Chains A and B, each alone.
Chain A
Amino acid sequence: GAVVSQHPSWVICKSGTSVKIECRSLDFQATTMFWYRQFPKQSLMLMATSNEGSKATYEQGVEKDKFLINHASLTLSTLTVTSAHPEDSSFYICSARERGISYGYTFGSGTRLTVV
């Protein structure tokens, strides 16, 4: 089946630095990828939707200049958390939709970000 690889699985960074998270669709082309954030004991909250070759669409309340999303190819999307602060510590999850498959949402394994 479809596989989405997310890297790294966990990262610790210092406050004020930037962190990049990669999301790759391994065996299918993903025209659309989604980025979610999940705080402890809460549900997944959609941050943004990215389409290959175009700018990402951010959900209300998500700072586009802080959470930079690049979807340069049909198999790779990246999320960069810029000038990270402790409140950005969270579980970040990407999801990819396979081209031509309306119901096929495959999720990555998530990235645990801790900002110290």
Chain B
Amino acid sequence: DAKTTQPPSMDCAEGRAANLPCNHSTISGNEYVYWYRQIHSQGPQYIIHGLKNNETNEMASLIITEDRKSSTLILPHATLRDTAVYYCIVRVAGYSTLTFGKGTMLLVSP
């Protein structure tokens, strides 16, 4: 699976949009971009995934650049409960394992 690079930490004001970047310049054509988050002392939670088109669900939006070398997870209106470590993972769809990097620690403040 391709390697990803994320900033170690980011801050966001409550109510504002949180934009979390991820670089995956070595991504292959059949690899998807997945986002998970882990709130302190809990198991990871699936957020969203995509291949090349932008995706949106009730939690977030995923914007993937046209060359697919980077992506951005957008939390449109961050709340204090969104404070967590966010992991960007690139993997081939199918039945391979999820490999977690260090992620981005997002701190949402009042």
Binding site for B on A (CB under 8 A): 4, 6, 32, 34, 36, 43-46, 49, 91, 93-95, 97, 102-110, 112
Is there an interface contact between A43 and B102, defined as CB atoms closer than 8 Å?
yes
B34 cross-chain contacts in A, Cβ below 8 A: 103
Bound CA–CA A36/B32 (angstroms)? 22
Bound CA–CA A105/B91 (angstroms)? 13
Minimum Cβ distance to chain A for residue B2 (Å) = 16
Bound CA–CA A103/B32 (angstroms)? 9
Is there an interface contact between A43 and B103, defined as CB atoms closer than 8 Å?
yes
A46 cross-chain contacts in B, Cβ below 8 A: 97-99
Does B21 make an interface contact (CB < 8 A)?
Answer: no
Given contacts A44-B100, A95-B44, 19 further A-B contacts (CB under 8 A): A34-B97, A36-B100, A43-B103, A46-B98, A46-B99, A91-B41, A93-B43, A95-B43, A102-B95, A103-B32, A103-B49, A103-B93, A104-B46, A105-B46, A107-B43, A107-B45, A109-B42, A109-B43, A110-B43
